[in-house]
């Protein structure tokens, strides 16, 4: 390994000639100094850059001018890449998080891995920091193809235990020191708190294994779990944030009853609201990183006892189609990510519950519960996926119900006046498979209103 003093010595046309295909660390581990040099060095032409959910000071890399000489393949959009993807300057790679490793090794085949690291430890190994997903696969594939591994060692990057890279695998290393991207979360509002209470009250019990990400609903779920007083939870997730840290710190999470019974929580991505959250991760044996073909494997998820997987969505239609990656047919908001992996894995888990949690309306007062999904939209869960749907108005469990019973139950998740409009549409339409028989004065089958909890 060669330690370089200048970024120009690690990012240049000589090391990155035309035809180079780079896979880069994403999320909070995006190598920002290397990225800025990629954007600044206009002699670097006709290369590809692959990665997911880039955070930090990376906007210059996705400008229209930079995209003319660098072909971006974005696996999951962030606010930094959204314009480039939706204006056609960058390509959207549609894939499950569980499938990244397979695609990297078998199809994308990078010749350069551009990574962030921390370390070394006493064994001479470097942590991949806050992002693993397909990074180790990229490192191994690049080396197998005679390529290079370029690393940025940020002094503020935590050494997250788990997958590590031997020093001998790194060709060039640049030392940097800058703040990691932080994602502070505002306090949940009352609708989000109601969602949290519903989920914890109905579905989270002692010895469950849980999965959720970051945001106001996860914060509300955490509050409700702590209020309920459950114990011996396990964490097997794709994204570990401050909400889950609270569960670990209070002793609610022990991981004694997960499949591995390993006493530590497992994730493939880590995001914190401040540097103190990243410092907490440093050499912390309460958490460990794993690649996404493990964390998001449906088989691994299904083997967890009482897997409660909680994910969000942009919208739901009356049949139960769910979309979370796009807002219009051609407009990609985020990405497929790992939602499908965890919904389907949780459904196969003994006692597991796959959950989609969303507020019933947007901030502009538009209903997220609609009669049919937008034309041409991609769905992250289809109607045949037996997913529990939760809004602030209640929870609907479709398992064991007919499609006519489902449409009525889903309509009850909406707020007024949309709920009445949807029920009237169901009553008037012959297309809902005799749904009139499911319309009663009481609560429909499978629906648990918030007021009864």
Residues recorded for the chain: 453
300: closest CA among 356, 237, 247?
237
φ/ψ of 301, rounded to 5, equals -65, -45
Tokens 């997250």 — which residue? 160
Q: Once rounded to an integer, what is the mean pLDDT over residues 412-440?
A: 82
Sequence-distant (≥ 6) Cβ neighbours of residue 14 within 8 angstroms: none
Chain centroid to CA 37: 28
The arithmetic mean of pLDDT across residues 155-166, rounded, is 97
Average pLDDT over residues 124-145: 97
Beta-ladder partners of 174? 4, 152
Q: Quick: pLDDT tens for 11-48.
A: 999 999 999 999 999 999 999 999 999 999 999 999 99
Residue 430: how many CA atoms within 13 Å on its side-chain side?
0
Banded pLDDT at 112 (limits 50, 70, 90): very high
Collapse the DSSP code of 277 into the 3-class scheme (helix H, G, I; strand E, B; otherwise coil) and give the result.
helix
- First-to-final CA distance of the chain: 60
Q: Bigger pLDDT: 262 or 19?
A: 19
Res 433: pLDDT? 60
Residue 335 pLDDT exceeds 90: no
What's the helix, strand, coil split of the chain in %, to 5?
A: 30, 25, 45
E strand or H helix at 65: helix 64-67
Cβ burial 16-46 (10 Å sphere, 16+ → b, else e): beeebbbbbbbbbbbbbbbbbbbbebeebee
Q: Confidence class of residue 428 from pLDDT cuts 50, 70 and 90? A: confident
Q: How far, in Å, CA of 322 to CA of 27, rounded? A: 25
Q: What are the strands of the beta sheet with 353-357, ordered from one edge? A: 234-235, 209-211, 307-311, 353-357, 388-391, 394-396, 447-449
Question: According to the model, what pLDDT value does residue 341 have?
Answer: 96
Cα–Cα distance list, 146 to 110, 142, 169 (Å): 10, 6, 12
C-alpha 31/C-alpha 101 separation (Å) is: 20
Mean pLDDT in residue range 138-161: 97
Question: What are the angstrom distances between the C-alpha of 86 and each of 72, 90, 334, 425?
Answer: 12, 8, 11, 34
Kindly state the average pLDDT of the residues 240-245. Answer: 96
Q: What is the mean pLDDT of the chain?
A: 94
**Per-residue pLDDT tens for 188-239?**
999 999 999 999 999 999 999 999 999 999 999 999 999 999 999 999 999 9
Distance CA 367, CA 357 (A): 14
Give the pLDDT score at 441: 64
Q: pLDDT tens digits for 52-81?
A: 999 999 999 999 999 999 999 999 999 999
DSSP 8-class letter at 311: E
- Using alpha carbons, select from 42, 135, 64 the residue that is nearest to residue 97: 135
Please state, in angstroms and rounded to a whole number, the distance separating the CA atoms of residues 374 and 67: 30
pLDDT tens, position by position, 378-390: 888 989 999 999 9
């Amino acid at each position: 390994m060669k330690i370089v003093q200048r970024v120009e010595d690690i990012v240049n046309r000589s090391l990155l000639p035309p035809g180079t295909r780079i896979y880069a660390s994403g999320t909070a581990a995006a190598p920002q100094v290397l990225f800025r040099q990629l954007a600044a060095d206009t002699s670097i032409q006709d290369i590809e850059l692959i990665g997911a959910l880039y955070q930090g000071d990376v906007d210059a890399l996705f400008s229209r001018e930079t995209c003319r000489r660098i072909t971006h393949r974005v696996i999951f959009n962030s606010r930094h890449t959204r314009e480039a993807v939706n204006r056609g300057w960058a390509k959207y790679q549609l894939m499950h998080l569980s499938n990244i490793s397979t695609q990297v090794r078998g199809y994308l085949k990078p010749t350069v891995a551009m990574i962030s690291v921390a370390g070394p430890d006493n064994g001479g190994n470097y942590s991949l920091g806050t992002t693993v997903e397909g990074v180790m696969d990229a490192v191994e594939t690049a080396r197998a193809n005679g390529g290079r591994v370029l690393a940025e060692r940020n002094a503020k990057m935590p050494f997250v235990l788990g997958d590590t890279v031997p020093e001998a695998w790194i060709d060039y290393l640049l030392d940097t020191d800058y703040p990691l991207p932080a994602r502070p979360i505002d306090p949940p509002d009352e609708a989000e708190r109601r969602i949290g209470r519903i989920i914890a009250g109905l579905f989270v019990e002692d010895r469950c294994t849980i999965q959720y990400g970051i945001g106001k609903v996860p914060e509300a779920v955490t509050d409700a779990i702590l209020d309920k007083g459950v114990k011996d939870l396990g964490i097997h997730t794709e994204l570990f944030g401050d909400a889950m840290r609270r569960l670990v710190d209070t002793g609610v999470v022990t991981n004694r009853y997960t499949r591995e019974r390993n006493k530590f929580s497992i994730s493939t991505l880590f995001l914190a609201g401040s540097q103190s959250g990243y410092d907490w991760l440093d050499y912390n044996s309460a958490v460990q990183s794993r690649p996404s073909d493990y964390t998001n494997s449906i088989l691994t998820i299904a083997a967890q006892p009482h897997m409660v997987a909680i994910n969000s969505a942009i919208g739901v239609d009356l049949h139960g189609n769910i979309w979370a990656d796009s807002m219009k047919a051609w407009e990609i908001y985020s990405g497929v990510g790992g939602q499908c992996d965890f919904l389907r894995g949780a459904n196969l888990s003994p006692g597991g519950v796959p959950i989609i949690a969303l507020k019933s309306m947007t901030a502009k007062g538009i209903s997220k519960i609609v009669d049919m999904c937008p034309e041409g939209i991609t769905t992250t869960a289809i109607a045949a996926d037996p997913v529990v749907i939760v809004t602030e108005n209640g929870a609907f469990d479709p398992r064991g119900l007919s499609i006519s019973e489902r449409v009525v139950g889903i309509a009850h998740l909406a707020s007024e006046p949309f709920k009445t409009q949807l029920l009237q549409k169901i009553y008037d339409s012959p297309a809902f498979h005799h749904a009139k028989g499911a319309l009663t004065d009481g609560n429909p089958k499978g629906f648990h209103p918030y007021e009864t909890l």
